[in-house]
Amino acid sequence: MKEFLYGNEAIARGAYDAGCAIAAGYPGTPSTEILETMARYKDIHVEWSTNEKVALEVAIGASIAGRRALCAMKMVGLNVASDPLMTVSYMGVRGGLVIVDADDPGMHSSQNEQDNRWYGKFAKVPVLEPGDSEEAYLFTKLAFAISEKFDTAVIVRSTTRVSHARSYVNTGERAVPEPVPYVKNASKYVMLPANARRRKPAVLRRIEELSAYAEDTPANRVEWGDTSFGFVTGSISYQYVKDAFPSASVLKLGLSYPLPVNLITEFAGKVGTLFVVEELDSFWETEIRAMGIPVRGKDVFPEAGELTPKLISNGVYRVLGDVAPTQGVLAEPETRFDPEMASLPQRPPVLCPGCPHRGVFYVLKKLNLTAAGDIGCYTLGALQPLAALDTTTCMGASIGHAHGMRLALPEDKAKKVVAVIGDSTFMHSGITPLLNMTYNGVDAPVIILDNGTTAMTGHQGHPGSGQNVRHEESPKISIEAIVSACGRKNVVVVSAYDVAGVEKAVKAALKDPSTVIIARTPCALITRERHAPPSFDPSVCIECGICFMAGCPALERDGKMPSVNATLCTGCGVCARVCPKAALKASFDITGGVAAENGGERK
């Protein structure tokens, strides 16, 4: 059946049709919709695991037990899962095991743009790279077959422009292979040093066998055209090459690792200048140079960010001049600077109107605190005017960073350090650093922004949300109980909309830095709860501009006074609660500081 699918949907469909029985992952752009799509198939087990490491371990367990299993994550998630990855390479599989990794060149929604093809080479497992939705479907199915044939985990690497692009897919029917009967095999699945040493030659032999397979896999193909120059490319870069040079000869690599030495050598021998076109690192280029083949690559194509047809034709132009028969895209040596466009106001992302994080960040800024931040919507608290965060590194890093900063700063500065982390991120990897603080006798206030969901990626459940991947009710784990179990005795719960209550709690926590504050108000995009917008009395307004410091897009500027955009405003009242003269008045009262389980913003 011909279907019009996102790359992520096609990966999920490919896995389903391949008979995948267990799928696990943790949400992260641009990978999230893979598991969300799989969750629509009710006859398989799908789960959001607490983090990517756990997800891969679940999938490995299912594979050892004989079923086909998949885990999906964004590229930085594979860092978290790299521990089991490196060793499952030695163990191999029983049921097919596919790890879907979605990279984010250009960092549309990520903290770095690491090129995860290296993980294939690092762990000595094959990497398949689809270039559109059709290939995403086919390669995921192929990945399960390769996994079982070569006794290896297989990485399917996507990127933003494959995952979040839509095109046609010829889908088939689900075919479920018989589960492989479970037989205890400790020498293969218990990686004691003695067993691992015996497995290493199998790992090396497997890469040789896969290299031979790469020579005639359907994932790699040559498209012959004009041979005065040629391209080795793959993934989304292939599409850009075809747009820029429709009649050129192309070797398209679908199996990114290991590479087909003979196929590449033969192709290189038949074309003039050979260009290697790949986004991010010179992964193929380095390998192909090591084969003794001269190529042009990162000397003329950028190593940072996404490629475009124009960047490719510009690179070719720099080598060949205008002899290159480009079509469709004009090769210009440089893009002209456009001063008018450059002067337009930028529009970076912002916390939504009604976002419960806003008031907390306002307080942190007001008290001039040093805040170690974390990964989620609330990373936007680092932007002006809130500008309340000092660090953001990776999932769960806030608590460890605050710990280190408290130790390293002189006392007057150390006492101003706090950690800020979201509820889903806390469950993902915030618990161990909190435990570490107690164990090592270091105190820094930890503020858990509990909006009851994994918001940034589109509202996925987590162990504290009470919802599973299918948005069905699941056991709701109490954050307070976890925090207490980590040895933090003083746990304070406040409503995030109660700005005065948050301020009071933070000030108290600075005096007793072993305190954990839970600022609990559900994400405004989930509740869709709306109160009337705040009223505004211009005769009381002193034009101090403090309301604007809350940085709400629904509070517009009318000269020096605020003007509420009633369409955008959710009536959360945070702007009114920071107004020193009560010129802005919230439409509902919130006092006492302790929020009820549902957020407690209605009194």
Partner 1 sequence: MMKNFIIASVGGQGGLLATTVLASVFAASGCDVKTSEVHGMAQRGGAVTSYVRRGEKVYSPLVHAGEADVILGLEMLEAYRELPNLRAGGTALVSDEKISPLTSIMGESRYPDLSEKSYLQRAGSAFIVPAVSIAKEAGNTRASNIALAGALSALLGEDDKVPLSVWEAQISRLVPQRTVDVNIKAFYGGRAWMLKPGE
**C-alpha to C-alpha distance for 72 and 55, rounded to whole angstroms:** 8
Terminal C-alpha separation, the chain: 54
For position 352 contacting partner 1 by CB under 8 A, the verdict is: yes
Pairing of strands 2-6, 22-25: unpaired
Least distance between partner 1 and beta carbon 559 (Å) = 10
Burial class (CB in 10 A: 0-12, 13-18, 19+), 187: exposed
Which helix (H) or strand (E) segment holds residue 477: the answer is none
346 is a site residue for partner 1 (CB under 8 A)? yes
Q: Does 32 bind partner 1 (CB under 8 A)?
A: yes
Q: How many CA atoms lie within 13 A of 63 on its CB side?
A: 30
| Binding-site member from 269, 294, 335, 528 for partner 1 (CB under 8 A) | 335
Query: Quick check: 541 binds partner 1 (CB under 8 A)?
Result: no
Q: List CB contacts of 68: < 8 A, sequence separation 6 or more.
A: 15, 18, 19, 20, 21, 22, 95, 96, 97, 98, 144, 177
Half-sphere exposure of residue 571, counting CA atoms within 13 Å on the CB side? 14
> Distances from the Cα of 228 to the Cαs of 82, 271, 288, 291, in angstroms?
42, 6, 19, 21
Does position 333 interact with partner 1 (CB under 8 A)? The reply is: no
> The tokens 């799509």 sit on which residue?
37
Among 184, 347, 511, 528, binds partner 1 (CB under 8 A): 347
- The SS3 assignment for 264 reads helix
* Residue 530 Cβ vs partner 1, minimum distance, rounded to whole Å: 13
The reply on whether position 428 binds partner 1 by CB under 8 A is: no
Among 223, 243, 480, 529, the residue binding partner 1 under the rule CB under 8 A is 243
Question: Does 454 sit near partner 1 (CB under 8 A)?
Answer: no
Q: To the nearest whole angstrom, how small is the minimum distance from the Cβ of residue 345 to partner 1?
A: 4
Q: Binder to partner 1 among 218, 305, 458, 592 (CB under 8 A)?
A: 458
Which residue in 269, 333, 339, 348 binds partner 1 (CB under 8 A)?
Answer: 348
- Tell me the residue length of the chain: 603
- Name the segment binding partner 1 (CB under 8 A); options: 64-72, 328-336, 412-420, 421-429: 328-336
Of 177, 179, 302, 385, which lies in the binding site for partner 1, with binding defined by CB under 8 A?
385
The residue to which tokens 């589960």 are assigned = 179
380 touches partner 1 (CB under 8 A): yes
Total number of residues binding partner 1 (CB under 8 A)? 54
Nearer to partner 1, 516 or 555 (CB): 555
Q: Taking the complex as a whole, how short is the minimal distance between the CB of residue 161 and partner 1, in angstroms?
A: 6
- Give the integer Cα–Cα distance in Å for 280 and 282: 7
Of residues 429, 457, 467, 495, which one binds partner 1 by CB under 8 A? 457
67 with 19: CB under 8 angstroms? no
> What sections of 92-159 are H helices per DSSP?
117-123, 133-150
Residue 382 touching partner 1 (CB under 8 A): no
Q: Which residue from 166, 366, 459, 585 is in contact with partner 1, where contact means CB under 8 A?
A: 166
109 binds partner 1 (CB under 8 A): yes
Task: Give me 122's structure tokens.
Answer: 């690092």
Q: Show the site string, 554-573: x = touches partner 1 by CB under 8 A, - = not.
A: -xxx---------xx-----
Q: How far is the CB of 311 from partner 1 (least distance, A)?
A: 10
**DSSP H or E segment with residue 252:** strand 248-253
**Span near partner 1 by CB under 8 A; candidates 55-63, 172-180, 501-509, 546-554:** 546-554
Nearer to partner 1 (CB atom), residue 165 or residue 388: 165
Q: Which is closer to partner 1, CB of 160 or CB of 282?
A: 160
Site string for partner 1, 297-326 (x = CB under 8 A): -----------xxx----------------
Contact 136, 143 (CB under 8 A): no
Question: What does each C-alpha distance from 85 to 153, 254, 263 come to in angstroms?
Answer: 8, 21, 29
Query: Given the complex with partner 1, which of 109 and 587 has the nearer CB atom?
Result: 109
Q: Which of 14, 18, 24, 29 binds partner 1 (CB under 8 A)?
A: 29
Q: Which of 201, 321, 333, 345 binds partner 1 (CB under 8 A)?
A: 345
SS3 115: coil
- DSSP E strands: which ranges in 8-112? 22-25, 45-48, 69-74, 97-103
Q: What is the smallest separation between the CB atom of 79 and partner 1, expressed in angstroms?
A: 18
The alpha carbons of the chain give a radius of gyration, in whole angstroms, of 27
Task: Please tell me whether residue 45 binds partner 1 under the rule CB under 8 A.
Answer: no
Cα–Cα distance, 79 to 81 (Å, whole number):
5
The pair of structure tokens assigned to 599 is: 């957020």
Tell me how far apart the alpha carbons of residues 394 and 373 are, in angstroms, rounded to a whole number: 9
Strand 491-494 and strand 516-520: the pairing is parallel
Q: How far is the CB of 35 from partner 1 (least distance, A)?
A: 14
DSSP secondary structure letter of residue 101: E
- Residue owning tokens 């140079």: 289
Among the listed residues 239, 391, 453, 454, the single contact to partner 1 using CB under 8 A = 239
Helix (H) or strand (E) holding 584: strand 584-585
Q: Which stretch binds partner 1 (CB under 8 A): 374-382, 467-475, 482-490, 507-515?
A: 374-382
Nearer to partner 1, 189 or 548 (CB): 548
- Residue in 369, 372, 456, 517 binding partner 1, rule: CB under 8 A: 456
Binding site for partner 1 (CB under 8 A): 4, 29-30, 32, 108-109, 132, 160-161, 164-168, 236, 238-240, 242-243, 308-310, 329-330, 335, 338, 341, 344-352, 377, 379-380, 383-385, 456-458, 548, 551, 553, 555-557, 567-568
